[in-house]
């Protein structure tokens, strides 16, 4: 549980760090403070990640639990519908490609068969 709290808080920190690096990285000792914050999160003595998780992250997630569950159900349904749509589309493309390939090769195959049959007929005529 402790590691779960750490990784959740750390991932939130990394997501916000992307934007804060652009805005406030020019402050003196910014990178040193950032490193000290990560050590504070990780340290078993300070339990910074547990403190932040229990005080801020968990209450926010608990308040938004129904919204998150509804979003997950909606995402699952959309994902299923999207997979069906792309599956149908890819099967249609594969069927079209197969029909086109068969049509193109049928002409070439018919030409070869015709030339073979004409050669066979000529050879029969020459033999008789």
Q: Give the per-residue pLDDT at 39.
A: 93
Q: Give the per-residue pLDDT at 102.
A: 73
Q: Give the per-residue pLDDT at 92.
A: 86
Q: Provide the phi-psi class of 28: left if phi over 0, else alpha when psi is between -120 and 50, else beta.
A: beta
Q: Give the per-residue pLDDT at 116.
A: 52
pLDDT along the chain (128 residues), means of 10: 90 90 86 91 89 92 92 90 88 81 65 55 60
Give CA–CA dist 48/21, Å, rounded.
Answer: 21
Q: Give the per-residue pLDDT at 69.
A: 92
Give CA–CA dist 97/102, Å, rounded.
Answer: 8
Map out the domains of the chain as residue ranges: 1-46, 52-127
């Amino acid at each position: 549980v402790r590691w779960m709290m750490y990784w959740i808080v750390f991932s939130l920190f990394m997501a916000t760090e992307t934007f804060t690096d652009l805005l406030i990285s020019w402050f003196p000792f910014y990178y040193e403070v950032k490193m000290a914050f990560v050590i504070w999160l990780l340290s078993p003595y300070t339990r910074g990640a547990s403190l932040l998780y229990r005080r801020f992250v968990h209450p926010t997630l608990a308040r938004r639990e129904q919204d998150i569950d509804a979003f997950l159900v909606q995402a699952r349904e959309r994902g299923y519908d999207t997979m069906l749509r792309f599956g149908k589309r890819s099967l249609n493309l594969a069927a079209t490609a197969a029909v086109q390939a068969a049509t193109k090769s049928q002409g070439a195959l018919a030409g070869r068969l015709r030339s073979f049959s004409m050669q066979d007929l000529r050879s029969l005529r020459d033999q008789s």
